[in-house]
């Protein structure tokens, strides 16, 4: 069976790979798998559906809603909201499942569908596989009359509940801080500027006028140069850049320097340790996080637990260890006490709260860690499965690790979606990192 679900839901070109018929069947199958023992509810099950503003979202929203309702699930459509808002509302409403329609940072023609279970939790692989298998057995017909689900559209209430939640999560007064916010013409175009302003910050929004076609178009976290330029033009204290569904946040300091997810995690980890909020003095990062993060955290007395790449694996480690902070270099930051998935707006609020509490600039706060030069080479290969078992590759890795010592790191891993092997090398010197990475890539390519 070819797996339908990827690392973050079902994603593809809208109306080609990701069709309304597929969305309808996904909704029907998710209803069967995620609504459990309905006899014990005393009511029809409830699903929350949100989306980003790309044009195909309206079509897919309607199809999924129809699929859910046809299997006896009531549907609350909350309109354009960030992914973490849908996760929060799924829990807040006591819904049996949530659905977010978004392709995150992908270009406008793409779209995606991701599900949350009760409590706003991402689905494990096994449950996604059950949904896919159930799709193959969906039959025509279903409940009728009073047992059909109802579909209600109510965007304002959901947005207000989410904004109230954000305000309760970070109550620090941000007055005196001027922030540029690039919302990528995406799902946070309204709520992120509103949340920052409600906390007291002076907000300069850019790319916050979605027209269904311009999401992620040369803006947002994948084009952070836009935020850099705006920060310098306006003399702002910092800039924040979100992606299309606003589950990630990257930052820019007052001098226009990019502050990535590793640096943001370092800042927040130290802040939470100071406030006795960093459980077990532990941060969960991924294997792709910069070695400089580990070095800084060791100096600060903070343990770093490594997860596989992907925020779902960060979430698994957070849940397993009962930790209170985790994330990725890409800007996905998870604060389990306030959210069940990465929340870019909450990350931005937390970062500015640290600035307000300490009176320090973002550049000063980010200096807690030194980012080591990192070189990544994507090597096309014919068979990913044999690379790490190859004797020449093993020998090349051993030589590289000996050469770098404790001041560097080597990581080789397969792409999850392509016949590509990723070769990543970190070192104190960029020339050395490039030299070692090039040598390793050559060995991998020869296999």
Residue the block writes with tokens 């909201």: 81
The encoded tokens of residue 142 equal 């279903």
- Which letter does DSSP use for residue 124 in this model? P
- Catalytic residue chosen out of the listed positions 104, 189, 221, 289: 104
Number of H helices, E strands in the chain: 14, 19
Structure-block tokens of residue 159 = 């947005």
Q: How would you label 293-326 residue by residue, b for 16+ Cβ within 10 Å and e otherwise?
A: bbbbbeebebebbebebbbbbbbbbbeeeebbbb
* Angle in degrees, 0-180, between the axes of helices 20-34 and 125-135, rounded to the nearest 10: 120
Does 247 belong to an annotated binding site? yes
Query: Is 211 marked as a binding-site residue?
Result: no
Distance from C-alpha of 56 to C-alpha of 29, rounded to nearest angstrom: 21
**Rounded CA separation 95/87 (Å):** 10
Catalytic annotation on 104?
yes
217 is in an annotated binding site: no
- Give the HSE-up count for residue 290: Cα atoms under 13 Å, Cβ half-sphere: 24
For 386, phi and psi rounded to 5 degrees? -95, -10
Which residue pairs, CB below 8 angstroms and at least 24 apart, start in 271-278? 271/350, 271/353, 271/354, 271/357, 272/324, 272/325, 273/300, 273/301, 273/302, 277/324, 277/337, 278/302, 278/324, 278/325
Tokens 């800007």, residue located = 331
Annotated binding residue 260: no
3-state secondary structure of 222: helix
Catalytic residues, by residue number, are 104
Cite the annotated binding site for Mg(2+) by residue number.
104, 243, 245, 247
């Amino acid at each position: 069976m070819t797996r339908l679900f990827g690392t973050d839901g079902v994603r593809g070109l809208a109306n080609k790979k990701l069709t309304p018929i597929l969305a309808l069947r996904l909704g029907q199958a998710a209803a069967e798998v995620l609504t459990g023992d309905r006899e014990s509810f005393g009511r029809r099950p409830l699903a929350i559906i949100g989306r980003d503003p790309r044009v195909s979202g309206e079509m897919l929203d309607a199809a999924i809603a129809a699929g859910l309702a046809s299997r006896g699930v009531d549907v609350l459509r909350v309109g354009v909201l960030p992914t973490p808002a849908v996760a929060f509302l799924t829990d807040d409403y006591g819904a049996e499942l949530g659905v977010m329609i978004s392709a995150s940072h992908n270009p406008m023609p793409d779209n995606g569908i991701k599900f949350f279970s009760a409590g706003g939790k991402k689905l494990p692989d096994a449950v996604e596989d059950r949904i896919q298998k159930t799709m193959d057995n969906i039959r025509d017909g279903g409940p009728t009359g009073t047992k059909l689900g109802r579909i209600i559209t109510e965007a304002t209430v959901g947005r207000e509940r989410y904004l109230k939640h954000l305000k309760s999560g970070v109550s620090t007064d941000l007055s005196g801080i001027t922030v540029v916010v690039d919302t990528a013409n995406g799902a946070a175009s309204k709520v992120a500027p509103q949340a920052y302003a409600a906390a007291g910050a002076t907000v300069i929004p850019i790319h916050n006028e979605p027209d269904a076609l311009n999401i992620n178009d040369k803006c947002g976290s994948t084009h952070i140069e836009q935020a850099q330029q705006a920060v310098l033009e306006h003399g702002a204290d910092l800039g924040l850049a979100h992606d299309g569904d606003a589950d990630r946040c990257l930052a820019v300091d007052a001098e226009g320097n990019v502050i990535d997810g590793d640096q943001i995690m370092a800042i927040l980890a130290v802040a939470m340790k100071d406030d006795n909020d960093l459980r077990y003095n532990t941060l969960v990062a991924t294997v792709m996080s910069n070695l400089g993060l580990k070095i800084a955290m060791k100096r600060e007395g903070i343990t770093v637990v490594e997860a596989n790449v992907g925020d779902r694996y960060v979430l698994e480690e957070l849940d397993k260890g009962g930790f209170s902070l985790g994330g990725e270099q890409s800007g996905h930051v998870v604060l389990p006490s306030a959210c069940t998935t990465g929340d870019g707006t909450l990350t931005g609020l937390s970062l500015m709260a640290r600035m307000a509490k300490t009176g320090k600039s973002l550049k000063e706060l980010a200096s807690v860690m030194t980012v080591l030069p990192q070189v990544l080479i994507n090597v096309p290969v014919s068979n990913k499965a044999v690379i790490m078992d190859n004797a020449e590759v093993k020998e090349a890795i051993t030589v590289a690790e000996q050469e770098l010592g404790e001041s560097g790191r080597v990581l080789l891993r397969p792409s999850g979606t392509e016949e590509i092997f990723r070769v990543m090398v970190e070192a104190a010197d960029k020339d050395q990192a490039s030299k070692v990475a090039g040598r390793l890539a050559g060995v991998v390519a020869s296999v």
